[in-house]
Amino acid sequence: MLISPHPDVTIGVGPAAHMIAEVADPASVSLAYLDPPYGTGRHFGHYADPLVGAHWAEELASTLRALEPVLAGHATIWIHLDEVSVYAGKNVADEVFGPGRYISTVVWERKDRPSYTHPVIANVLDYILVYAGTGTPRQLTVGQTTEGKRYPVHHRQNKVATLTFPPGSVTIGFEAKVIKAGRHDTKAIASTLDSDCEFKNGISATPMVMTGPFRYTQATIDSLAADGGIFHCPRLPLRPNYLARQVKGKPMTTLLSNKINGVPTNEVARTETGFATPKPVGLLERIILAGTLPGETVLDAYGGSMTTAVAAVNTGRTCRITEINPETVRDFGLPRFGTVDPVTVAALTAMHNGPKAQGAAVAAEEGFAPVCGA
Ligand SMILES: C[S@@+](CC[C@H](N)C(=O)[O-])C[C@H]1O[C@@H](n2cnc3c(N)ncnc32)[C@H](O)[C@@H]1O
């Protein structure tokens, strides 16, 4: 079952290994974030984590294998685990992707106020394994911006040509969903928009075709766009300016800490949703901003309360999510996007009351005894 609670969010309800191909097109995903059960054998308020050892590893491997065809060449994969599961998780990911694609492990300070329930030491950190997609990933930066030097694309002394700006490469500084084909002349330069161009959240969703005297060739436009270059049109008539990308701030480091760089902890996540094991929106925003450009696609294979979708929408990205538990989608995911349509509620309830979700089925098979309220 596919649900779209927001124009930029699609949720596939079912096991990730089956649903990833349903929600995402081949080579379309710029960043995949996975926050799977950690193989604890415990039961958390809203979902069971019954798979341990080899069963847990095989489940994670099947999700990673399903991910591979939908990854863009520049993609990064972020696998969020705890102090125990990170070691087995690295073995699984090395096996599926190959150890050469391992980039690093980001450490996130998950607790500001440790609970001293561990008999020996209070764990306050989670670990996020970062792997490269199928090609060369971009450099990850904090505070990356496209503001920088502007180069007008039109140049009146040059001969007239027609250029196509690929979808996603043009931004506009004014409100418009469609700019109709027509003349875009100024006193100095005659130019036309040759076909209607659609925009979504200020970013071109269809190719923008213009004729006029230009500074750049089509080959240069294509190569700048492929490199994430943006052509910004502040107003009408359309006069794209190439924004030379300027990386501001420091390259991203492997430390995400509330104390050091203001990344929220799980104490914050618990105030954002009633779900049992959420991650904070601010953590996901940090990861998405570092790893993707506006308009690109983020995928989360273990959606839970849909924190990743909220963060993607907040940062102007599109999101594809899979989540096995229809009840979680109904009670925790969808309400984050406003009132839930009663037909969708009924369909998810029927799905929940129908054949049991994979986790429950496996629990029965394994003779799993949940530790409630853990
Ligand atoms: C740790 S929670 C994710 C929490 C999420 N990051 C959030 O912020 O709410 C793991 C989620 O994965 C789901 N899940 C478990 N196995 C799955 C599978 N095979 N496919 C898709 N989702 C699965 C569980 O139902 C649970 O909601």
Q: pLDDT tens digit string along 42-53?
A: 777 777 777 878
- Does residue 62 line the site of ligand 1, with CB under 6 A? no
Closest ligand 1 atom to residue 269 Cα is: 8
- One domain for residues 85 and 230: no
Q: pLDDT tens digit string along 238-261?
A: 999 998 765 565 789 999 999 988
- One domain for residues 272 and 321: yes
- Does residue 323 line the site of ligand 1, with CB under 6 A? yes
- One domain for residues 8 and 65: yes
Nearest to 323 by CA among 348, 341, 286: 348
pLDDT of residue 93: 98
Residue 373 forms part of a structural domain: no
Q: How far is the CA of 360 from the centre of ligand 1 (A)?
A: 13
Residue 59 forms part of a structural domain: yes
pLDDT of residue 221: 95
Domain C-terminal end among 218, 243, 268: 243
- One domain for residues 231 and 304: no
Q: How far is the CA of 88 from the centre of ligand 1 (A)?
A: 18
- One domain for residues 55 and 183: no
Write the CATH number for 347.
3.40.50.150
Residue 216 forms part of a structural domain: yes
Q: pLDDT tens digit string along 86-112?
A: 999 999 999 999 999 999 999 999 998
Under the banding of pLDDT at 50, 70 and 90, the label for residue 365 is very low
pLDDT of residue 227: 81
- Does residue 203 line the site of ligand 1, with CB under 6 A? no
- One domain for residues 78 and 129: yes
Q: Which pair of structure tokens corresponds to residue 350? A: 């029927």
Looking at the predicted structure, is the pLDDT value of residue 371 above 50?
no
- One domain for residues 235 and 166: yes
- One domain for residues 121 and 254: yes
Nearest CA to ligand 1 atom 5: 304
Q: How far is the CA of 311 from the centre of ligand 1 (A)?
A: 16
Q: Which pair of structure tokens corresponds to residue 159? A: 């001969």
One-letter identity of residue 350: A
Domain C-terminal end among 213, 243, 273: 243
Q: pLDDT tens digit string along 200-235?
A: 988 999 999 999 999 999 999 999 998 888 899 999
Strands across the sheet containing 170-172: 150-152, 241-243, 230-233, 170-172, 203-204, 197-200, 178-179
Nearest to 293 by CA among 254, 247, 258, 336: 247
Nearest to 297 by CA among 318, 313, 280: 318
- One domain for residues 238 and 288: no
Residue 261 forms part of a structural domain: yes
Residue 335 forms part of a structural domain: yes
Under the banding of pLDDT at 50, 70 and 90, the label for residue 374 is very low
Q: Distance between CA atoms of 152 and 123, rounded to whole angstroms?
A: 53
pLDDT of residue 354: 76
- Does residue 304 line the site of ligand 1, with CB under 6 A? yes
- Does residue 321 line the site of ligand 1, with CB under 6 A? no
Under the banding of pLDDT at 50, 70 and 90, the label for residue 148 is low
Mutate to test the pocket of ligand 1, among 51, 126, 302 (most ligand atoms within 8 A of CB): 302
Under the banding of pLDDT at 50, 70 and 90, the label for residue 126 is very high
Looking at the predicted structure, is the pLDDT value of residue 366 above 50?
no
Q: How far is the CA of 192 from the centre of ligand 1 (A)?
A: 49
Q: pLDDT tens digit string along 289-318?
A: 999 988 999 999 999 999 999 999 999 999
- Does residue 333 line the site of ligand 1, with CB under 6 A? no
* Rounded average pLDDT over 123-127: 95
- One domain for residues 160 and 254: no
Let me know: does 227 contact 219? Beta carbons within 8 Å: no
pLDDT of residue 247: 53
In SS3 terms, the chain reads as CEEEEECCEEEEECCHHHHHHHHCCCCCEEEEEECCCCCCCCEECCEECCCCHHHHHHHHHHHHHHHHHHEEEEEEEEEEECCCHHHHHHHHHHHHHCHHHEEEEEEEECCCCCCCCCCCCCCCEEEEEEEECCCCCCCCECCCECCCCEEECECCCCCEEEEEECCCCEEECCCCCEECCEECCCCCCCCEECCCEEEECCEECCCEEEEEEECCCHHHHHHHHHCCCEEEECCCCCCCEEECCECCCCECCCEECHHHHCCCCHHHHHHHCCCCCCCCHHHHHHHHHHHCCCCCEEEECCCCCCHHHHHHHHCCCEEEEEECCHHHHHHHHHHHHCCCCHHHHHHHHHHHHCCCCHHHHHHHHHCCCCCCCC
- One domain for residues 123 and 215: no
Residue 361 forms part of a structural domain: yes
Q: How far is the CA of 35 from the centre of ligand 1 (A)?
A: 7
- Does residue 169 line the site of ligand 1, with CB under 6 A? no
Residue 372 forms part of a structural domain: no
- One domain for residues 200 and 306: no
pLDDT of residue 246: 58
Phi and psi (nearest 5°) for 329?
-60, -45
- State the total domains in the chain: 2
Residue 371 forms part of a structural domain: no
Q: CB within 8 A of 28, min separation 6: which ones?
A: 70, 72, 297
- Does residue 129 line the site of ligand 1, with CB under 6 A? no
Q: Which pair of structure tokens corresponds to residue 152? A: 């007008």
Phi and psi (nearest 5°) for 233?
-110, 105
Looking at the predicted structure, is the pLDDT value of residue 64 above 60?
yes
Mutate to test the pocket of ligand 1, among 49, 82, 299, 323 (most ligand atoms within 8 A of CB): 323
- Does residue 38 line the site of ligand 1, with CB under 6 A? no
pLDDT of residue 147: 56
Q: pLDDT tens digit string along 164-200?
A: 999 999 999 899 999 999 999 999 999 999 999 999 9
Q: Distance between CA atoms of 307 and 330, rounded to whole angstroms?
A: 14
* Rounded average pLDDT over 68-74: 95
Domain C-terminal end among 190, 213, 243: 243
The distance of Cα 23 from the centroid of its chain, to the nearest Å, equals 13
Mutate to test the pocket of ligand 1, among 47, 283, 284, 287 (most ligand atoms within 8 A of CB): 47
- Domain extent at residue 235: 150-243
Q: pLDDT tens digit string along 322-363?
A: 999 999 999 999 999 998 899 999 999 998 887 554 444 333
Q: How far is the CA of 145 from the centre of ligand 1 (A)?
A: 32
